[in-house]
């Protein structure tokens, strides 16, 4: 029935630990048996994961392939997946859509599930090392006034959804200086008119 036909069935998808390669050989090559079965040991994802992890006392550093920001990748059988996300789902559980994984240790190459936490995208940005995150963690304005509730104005910026905190002491001082400059200017104009 199978004689004269050469086919390969790779059952790696459902049992990645043991990929079974079935080879149907033509009868005259197959010495009577219609189906010869070769079992090739194939490394599982978790085996390949551990090969690329260097554990320290705290972080588990990924030494496999990674992007420019040092977030690692693991080949999933279909595509490269972000390895810290894969590790979270493997050791902890599924990540709901629309949520992201934050590195509590701020080490992007770390895949230790204890250092990974599910957060909303906004939380992640505010905790991160970007401008928004650094600004959100500042407790004082650049002239050293504390960002207390009374001393803080929340202002819209020209970047749509982005808002920023503004120190009231500084803003009032700026406005005073601005008024003073205007007054000096109009007084000098008046002097020019008088002397001219």
Which of 145, 147, 152, 166 contacts Zn ion by CB under 5 A?
145
Return the sign of the alpha-carbon dihedral for residues 142, 147, 151, 154: positive
CA distances for 109 relative to 72, 115, 122, 173, angstroms = 6, 11, 21, 45
Return the sign of the alpha-carbon dihedral for residues 100, 106, 111, 117: negative
Which of 137, 143, 149, 158 contacts Zn ion by CB under 5 A?
143
Which of 169, 174, 178, 184 contacts Zn ion by CB under 5 A?
169
Q: Answer yes or no whether residue 167 interacts with Zn ion by CB under 5 A.
A: yes
Q: 83 vs 167, which CB is nearer to Zn ion?
A: 167
Q: Answer yes or no whether residue 127 interacts with Zn ion by CB under 5 A.
A: no
91 three-class SS: helix
- Of 170-189, binders to Zn ion (CB under 5 A) are 170
Query: Among the candidate windows 21-29, 82-90, 111-119, 157-165, which touches Zn ion by CB under 5 A?
Result: 111-119
Rounded least distance, CB 153 to Zn ion, Å: 11
Q: Answer yes or no whether residue 166 interacts with Zn ion by CB under 5 A.
A: no
Q: Answer yes or no whether residue 111 interacts with Zn ion by CB under 5 A.
A: no
Q: Answer yes or no whether residue 69 interacts with Zn ion by CB under 5 A.
A: no
Q: Answer yes or no whether residue 84 interacts with Zn ion by CB under 5 A.
A: no
Nearest C-alpha neighbor of 49 from the set 96, 25, 16, 20 = 16
Number of residues located near Zn ion, criterion CB under 5 A? 12
Q: Answer yes or no whether residue 141 interacts with Zn ion by CB under 5 A.
A: yes
Q: How far apart are the first and last CA of the chain?
A: 115
Q: Answer yes or no whether residue 107 interacts with Zn ion by CB under 5 A.
A: yes
- Of 7-66, binders to Zn ion (CB under 5 A) are 59
DSSP-derived secondary structure for 123-164 = HHHHHSSSHHHHHHH--B-TTS-B--STTEEEEE-SSTT-EE
Query: The tokens 């810290």 sit on which residue?
Result: 84
**Any idea what the Cα angle at residue 13 is, between residues 102 and 11, rounded to 5°?**
160
Q: Which residues bind Zn ion (CB under 5 A)?
A: 59, 105, 107, 110, 112, 115, 141, 143, 145, 167, 169-170
């Amino acid at each position: 029935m199978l004689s004269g036909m050469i086919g390969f069935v790779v059952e790696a998808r459902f049992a990645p630990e043991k990929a079974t390669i079935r080879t149907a050989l033509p009868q005259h090559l197959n010495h009577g048996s219609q189906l010869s079965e070769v079992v090739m040991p194939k490394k599982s994802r978790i085996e390949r994961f551990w090969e690329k992890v260097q554990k320290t006392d705290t972080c588990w550093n990924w030494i496999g392939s990674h992007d420019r920001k040092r977030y690692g990748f693991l080949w999933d059988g279909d595509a490269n997946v972000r390895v810290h996300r894969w590790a979270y789902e493997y050791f902890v559980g599924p990540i709901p859509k629309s949520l992201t994984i934050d590195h509590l240790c701020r080490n992007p190459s770390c895949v230790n599930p204890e250092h990974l936490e599910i957060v909303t995208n906004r939380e992640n940005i505010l905790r991160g090392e970007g401008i928004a995150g650094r600004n959100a963690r500042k407790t004082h304005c650049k002239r050293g006034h504390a960002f207390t509730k009374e001393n803080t104005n929340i202002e819209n910026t020209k970047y749509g959804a982005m808002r920023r905190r503004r120190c009231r002491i500084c803003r009032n001082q700026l406005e005073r200086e601005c008024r003073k400059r205007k007054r000096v200017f109009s007084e000098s104009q008046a002097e020019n008119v008088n002397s001219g």
